[in-house]
A and B are shown apart, each in its own frame.
Chain A
Amino acid sequence: MTTTANAAALALGDDALVLSHRLGEWAGHAPVLEEEVALANIALDLLGQARVLLSLVGDEDELAYLREERAFRNLQLVEQENGDFAHTIARQLYFSVYQRLLYSRLAVGDTEFAGLAAKAVKEVAYHQDHAEHWTMRLGDGTAESHERMQRACDALWRFTGEMFQPVEGVDIDWQALQSGWLETVTTVLERATLTVPGGPRSGGWSAGAGRQGLHTESFGRMLAEMQHLHRSHPGASW
Chain B
Amino acid sequence: MTAVTADTYEAVFDAAVAADERIEPRDWMPDAYRATLVRQMAQHAHSEIIGMQPEANWITRAPSLRRKAILMAKVQDEAGHGLYLYSAAETLGTGRDELLDKLHAGRQRYSSIFNYPTLTWADVGAIGWLVDGAAITNQVPLCRCSYGPYARAMVRICKEESFHQRQGYELLLTLSRGTPAQHEMAQDAVDRWWWPSLMMFGPPDDESSHSAQSMAWKIKRHSNDELRQRFVDICVPQAEALGLTLPDPDLRWNEERGHHDFGAIDWAEFQDVLKGNGPCNDQRLTQRREAHEEGAWVRDAAAAYATKHRTEQHAKPGEATA
Contacts and interface: CB of A to CB of B under 8 A. Distances in A.
Interface of A: 17, 21, 24-25, 27-37, 40-41, 43-44, 47-48, 50-51, 54, 60-61, 64-65, 84-85, 125, 128-129, 132-133, 136-138, 140-142, 144-145, 148, 184, 187-188, 191, 225-226, 228-230, 233, 235-238
Nearest to B294: A31
A225 B72 contact: no
B60 interface: yes
B59 A145 contact: no
Contact of B53 (A28, A41, A236): A28
A175 B245 CA distance: 62
Contact of B63 (A17, A132, A144, A230): A230
A141 B317 contact: no
A37 B65 contact: no
B297 A144 contact: yes
Q: Which 10 A-B pairs have the closest CB atoms?
A: A31-B295, A141-B301, A145-B301, A40-B76, A27-B56, A36-B79, A132-B317, A31-B298, A137-B305, A28-B56
Given A28-B53, A142-B301, A188 B76 contact: no
Contact of B65 (A29, A64, A133, A228): A64
Nearest to B316: A129
Nearest to B287: A28
Interface on chain A toward B: helix, strand, loop, or mixed SS? Answer: helix
A217 B256 CA distance: 66
Contacts of B305: 136-137, 140-141
B65 A51 contact: yes
A233 B181 contact: yes
B308 A47 contact: no
A132 B83 contact: no
Contacts of A60: 65
Contact of A138 (B72, B298, B318): B298
B295 A85 contact: yes
Contacts of A65: 63-64
